[in-house]
Chain A
Amino acid sequence: MTISPRNPDPLHETLARLVEGALDEAARSELARQIADDPETQQRYIQFMATQAMLEREMRRNQSVKWVASHGLR
């Protein structure tokens, strides 16, 4: 399996904008409507957000490990 940022899934790209706080009000409303009306979009939203939440936690853990490594533990 490879991972490439080229040609991402459009729903995932919209959700990525939401996570980065870059979705305007009209787009947010449209997204919320789709999530409420379409069970598949709802499932994909849930999985995407859970993935981003996990990414946030993992990356913060990594940053903490790097900080400890760079400052040393006496």
Chain B
Amino acid sequence: MDRTTPDGEFVQRLIAVQDRLYAYIFSLAGDTNAADDVLQQSNIVLWEKADQFRPGTDFGAWACSVAHYEVLAWRKKRGRDRLLFDDRALGQLAGEVESFSAQANDLRLALRHCVELMPPRQRKLLDMRYVPGMTVGKIAQQLARSAASISQTLYRIRAALADCVERSLAKEGPA
């Protein structure tokens, strides 16, 4: 089969859909570490299947359908005992996750707003958590606190951000 190199428009679309794809994969896998690997593999497959995309159709939905198979492949490798959802629940969830992931842009804006509202100390802690290689233990050491207390604060920061985003999106209503 003759395969042509994806054009610039395809590349633009692929770049634009990365956040949405990551959210889709992350929600179905329920696992932070897996999401990067599955996203990378999905991008490879999308690139290889570029000629199968039909212009004029929803690129994001097509990309999610490809990523769905990559999530299934990851689940197979992972083994049942360490998965959050069984196959039936995953099937139920996939369609809902895909349609919600289309709101990625609204969600990003709401999140940015909520991060700006965070008290500086919490914001600093969140920043530290995302420094490459910065574990909870290292943060605890730097801030002279226990690892358990850092973890507890991080749970609460994540929960507070989610509360804020939920309120923010509810206020705006459906797009």
Partners in one complex: yes
User: For this complex, into which size category does the number of interface residues on chain B fall?
Assistant: 35 or more
The tally of residues in A whose CB lies under 8 Å from a CB in B reads: 44
B168 within 8 A of A: yes
Residues of B within 8 A of A62 (CB): 127, 130
B160 within 8 A of A: yes
B111 contacts A58, C-beta separation under 8 Å: yes
- The contact of B162 among A12, A42, A60, by CB within 8 Å, is A12
- In the complex, which residues 19-55 of chain A have their Cβ closer than 8 Å to any Cβ of chain B? 19-22, 28, 31-32, 35-36, 42-55
Given contacts A20-B154, A53-B27, are A32 and B163 in contact (CB under 8 A)?
no
A68 within 8 A of B: no
Residues of B within 8 A of A2 (CB): 117
**CA–CA, A45 to B167, complex, Å?**
15
A63 contacts B30, C-beta separation under 8 Å: no
**CA–CA, A48 to B26, complex, Å?**
11
**CA–CA, A2 to B151, complex, Å?**
22
Known contacts A42-B92, A53-B25, then 8 further A-B pairs from the complex at CB < 8 Å, ordered by chain A residue? A9-B159, A16-B159, A17-B155, A32-B84, A51-B161, A55-B161, A56-B26, A57-B19
**Residues of A bordering B, CB below 8 Å:** 1-6, 8-9, 12-13, 15-22, 28, 31-32, 35-36, 42-60, 62-63
Q: List 5 A-B contacts (CB under 8 A).
A: A42-B92, A50-B27, A56-B26, A56-B35, A59-B130
**Residues of B bordering A, CB below 8 Å:** 18-19, 22-23, 25-27, 30, 32, 35, 84-86, 88-89, 92-93, 96-97, 100-101, 103-104, 107-108, 111-112, 114-115, 117-119, 122, 126-127, 129-132, 136, 151, 153-169
